[in-house]
Amino acid sequence: MDCRHIDSILDEHGVGALSAAERSEVDGHLARCPRCADAWLSHETLVRDEPEPPEDGLFERIAAQTHGGPRDLPSRHRRRVAPLGIAAAIALLGVLVFRFGPEEPARPASRDAGTATSAQLPADDPAPTGSLAQPDREARFVAGRDYERLTQPAPTISDSGFIEVCEFFMFGCPHCFDFEPSLEAWDEAQPDYVSLVRVPVIFNATARLHAQAYYTAEVLGQADVLRRPFYEEIHVRGNPLATVASIRELFGRHGIDARSFDEAFGSFGVQARLQRAEEMNRRYRVSVTPSMGVNGKYLTNTAMVGSNEAMLEVVDALVESELREPCRESDGSRCPLE
């Protein structure tokens, strides 16, 4: 019994079909695996929360009102329909005339009307016959265009069992500063098996100083606390933090005394982390910030995909791809999920 098996049971609604022996195996796995225990908790909580049935006659009541159009709806039921508006309802009917004839004719003049309502309608219905078949969108991101696949795997920090996503950033980079809220929100939404690792990029002497400061904060257990103030000091307050003294002063404002700062700043732990960051920069072949790496295998950045949001979409797709990757521990590749 492994995590994939648990996911499969939940995904395919297989809980009720488990034998006693399988059930026992599931319970054993849940006791050991917090991720699967969480998944099971959510699934069971939702499934057991049975919705109440509709009131008797609700369909008939709504159907009778609906046939008259929005104008005939009683006040409470008009509330949500009103934004659609009568003009929009007429436009919908207009779209019908042009779009949904039995032969699916060319869709001429009403393009504007169709555009105006397309956000409201399932007008781009991907399955005109009502079938559940879907167009294949697997190839929406292309290697070499939207991301690079590394020829040699880069080192990873997270334990086996995690899919590691790296952000390569510089505190002095305004795009990294702008990206930070989106990245934090993205990270918050990730499951436990996705591990976000921040890796400072060391393009110049100031970037090295900032990287050293970042790892000092990490060694002191304050990386998450100080990251935002560090960015804001540079990009909002205009303080470049280009000297050790100015960085020490910033740390001091956040409750870290000068002695603790100095000890950590010059420590072996920070130096080792700097070397590891340089190695990861080199192996991922980072050339712009922000960039994002996935599991030591892929790199993407805004120069490739055009925006921070698009970069996160590519990362999502790569994480998804890693999730499906079969484990091949024998050839040294990472096993995404044990």
Partner 1 sequence: MGEDIEKPIDHRFEVVVRPHFDALYRAAMRLTRSRENAEDLVQEILLRACCELDRLETLESPRAWLMRVQYRIFVDQVRRRTRSPIAVGGEAADADAAASEDPGPEELTETAQRHRQLARVWTTLDRRQRALLALHAEGYTLAELAAITGLTRNAVGVALHRARARLAKLIRNDSTGGLRLVQAEG
Closest separation in Å from C-beta 321 to partner 1: 9
- Binding-site size, partner 1 (CB under 8 A): 80
Rule CB under 8 A: is residue 151 a binding residue for partner 1? no
Report CA 2 to chain centroid distance, whole Å. Answer: 24
In whole angstroms, the minimum distance from the beta carbon of 73 to partner 1 comes to 8
Minimum CB separation from partner 1 for residue 37, in Å? Answer: 6
> What track of x and - describes contact with partner 1 for positions 18 through 47 (by CB under 8 A)?
x-x--x--xx--x----x-xxxxxxxxxxx
Which residues ranging from 263 to 302 are in contact with partner 1 (CB under 8 A)?
none
Residue type, 13: H
Structure tokens at 337: 């999920």
**Least Å from the CB of residue 121 to partner 1:** 7
Contact present, 198 and 214 (Cβ < 8 Å): yes
Q: In the window 309-338, what residues touch partner 1 (CB under 8 A)?
A: 316-317, 319-320, 323-324
Q: By CB under 8 A, tell whether 257 contacts partner 1.
A: no
Whole-number minimum distance, CB 213 to partner 1, in Å?
31
- Select 26 or 280, whichever has its Cβ closest to partner 1: 26
Mutual angle of helices 34-48 and 3-11, in 10-degree steps = 10
176-215 binders of partner 1 (CB under 8 A): 189-192
Residues 73-92 that bind partner 1 (CB under 8 A): 73, 76-77, 79-81, 83-84, 89, 92
Q: Which is nearer to partner 1, 24 or 243 (CB)?
A: 24
**122 makes contact with partner 1 (CB under 8 A):** yes
Among 2, 86, 111, 127, binds partner 1 (CB under 8 A): 127
Q: Are 186 and 312 in contact (CB under 8 A)?
A: yes
Contact 130, 306 (CB under 8 A): no
User: How large is the angle between the packed helices 174-188 and 223-235, nearest 10 degrees?
Assistant: 150
Strand, helix or coil for residue 300: strand
Given the rule CB under 8 A, which of 122-130, 141-149, 201-209, 227-235 is the region that contacts partner 1? 122-130
Contacts of residue 194, defined as CB under 8 A and 6 or more positions apart, other chains included, come to 162, 163, 165, 319
Full DSSP string of 120-141: TS-TT-S-TTS-------GGGS
* Residue spans of alpha helices (H) in the chain: 3-11, 20-32, 34-48, 58-67, 75-81, 86-99, 111-117, 174-188, 205-219, 223-235, 244-253, 258-265, 268-284, 302-305, 308-324
Tell me how far, at minimum, the Cβ of 173 lies from partner 1, in Å: 28
